[in-house]
Structure 1
Amino acid sequence: MSAAPLEVKGLSAGYGPTRVIEDVSFSVPAGSRLAVLGRNGMGKTSLFATLAGQTRRYAGEIRVGGRDISGERSAARALLGLGYVPQTRDVFPTLTVEENLFVGLKNRPKDAIQEAYDMFPRLKERRKNLGSQLSGGEQQMLSTARSILGQPTVLLLDEPLEGLAPVICEELMAAFSRLAQSGDMTILLVEQRIQSALDFADNVIVLERGRIAWSGTPAALSADHVAVERFLGVGGLH
Structure 2
Amino acid sequence: MSMQQFTVQNLATGYGDLQVLQDISFDVGAGECLCIAGRNGVGKTTLMRALSGELPLISGGIQMQGTEISALPTNRRHGLGLSYGPQDSVTFAPLSVKENLTLHYQDQNLERYEHLFALFPRIRERLEQSAGSLSGGERKILSFTRVMAEDAQVVLLDEPTEGVAPENIDHMATVIRSTLQARHSVIVVEQNLSLIEAIADRVIVMDHGAIIHETANGPELRNEISNLLKV
Query: Structure 2 CA distance, aligned partners of 1:4 and 1:103?
Result: 32
Query: Structure 1 CA distance, aligned partners of 2:143 and 2:226?
Result: 31
- Give the partner amino acid of 2:108: K
- Give the partner amino acid of 1:128: E
Preserved CA contact (<8 Å) 1:35 1:198: no
SS of 1:19 mapped into structure 2: strand
Query: Structure 2 CA distance, aligned partners of 1:149 and 1:181?
Result: 15
- In structure 1, the partner of 2:215 is 216
- Structure 1 residues 96 and 146: alpha-carbon distance in aligned structure 2, compared to 1, 3 A threshold: same
Preserved CA contact (<8 Å) 1:116 1:145: yes
Size of the aligned set, in residue pairs, is: 226
Matched, 1:18 2:18: yes
How is 1:1-238 mapped onto 2 (pairs within 5 angstroms)? 5-105=5-105, 107=106, 109-111=107-109, 113-121=110-118, 122=121, 123-183=123-183, 185-219=184-218, 222=221, 225=224, 228-229=226-227, 231-234=228-231
TM-score between the two structures when normalised by the length of structure 2: 0.89
Query: Structure 2 CA distance, aligned partners of 1:9 and 1:83?
Result: 20
Preserved CA contact (<8 Å) 1:50 1:56: yes
Preserved CA contact (<8 Å) 2:36 2:187: yes
Q: Kindly state the Cα deviation for residue 224 of structure 1 after the two structures are TM-superposed.
A: 6.9
SS of 1:168 mapped into structure 2: helix
Preserved CA contact (<8 Å) 2:137 2:162: no
- Structure 1 residues 28 and 118: alpha-carbon distance in aligned structure 2, compared to 1, 3 A threshold: same
**Structure 1 unaligned blocks of 5 or more:** none
Q: Kindly state the Cα deviation for residue 125 of structure 1 after the two structures are TM-superposed.
A: 2.0
Query: Structure 2 CA distance, aligned partners of 1:7 and 1:211?
Result: 16
Preserved CA contact (<8 Å) 1:4 1:31: no
Post-superposition, which runs of at least 4 consecutive aligned residues in structure 1 deviate over 3 A?
Answer: 148-151
- Give the partner amino acid of 1:232: L
Q: What is the root-mean-square deviation of aligned Cα atoms in Å?
A: 2.1
Query: Structure 1 CA distance, aligned partners of 2:85 and 2:62?
Result: 18
- Give the partner amino acid of 2:92: F
Query: Structure 1 CA distance, aligned partners of 2:196 and 2:19?
Result: 27
- Give the partner amino acid of 2:192: R
Query: Structure 2 CA distance, aligned partners of 1:4 and 1:110?
Result: 34
Instruction: Give CA-to-partner distance per residue, 1:139-159, whole Å, 9 cap, x none.
Output: 122212222343321001111
Query: Structure 2 CA distance, aligned partners of 1:151 and 1:39?
Result: 30
Q: Kindly state the Cα deviation for residue 23 of structure 1 after the two structures are TM-superposed.
A: 0.6
Instruction: Give CA-to-partner distance per residue, 1:21-43, whole Å, 9 cap, x none.
Output: 10111000011100101111111
Instruction: Give CA-to-partner distance per residue, 1:75-99, whole Å, 9 cap, x none.
Output: 1111111111011152111111111
- Give the partner amino acid of 1:62: I
**Structure 2 unaligned blocks of 5 or more:** none
- Structure 1 residues 4 and 148: alpha-carbon distance in aligned structure 2, compared to 1, 3 A threshold: farther
Query: Structure 1 CA distance, aligned partners of 2:68 and 2:171?
Result: 34
SS of 2:103 mapped into structure 1: helix
Q: Kindly state the Cα deviation for residue 53 of structure 1 after the two structures are TM-superposed.
A: 1.2
- Give aligned-pair identity as a percent: 33
Query: Structure 2 CA distance, aligned partners of 1:152 and 1:212?
Result: 26
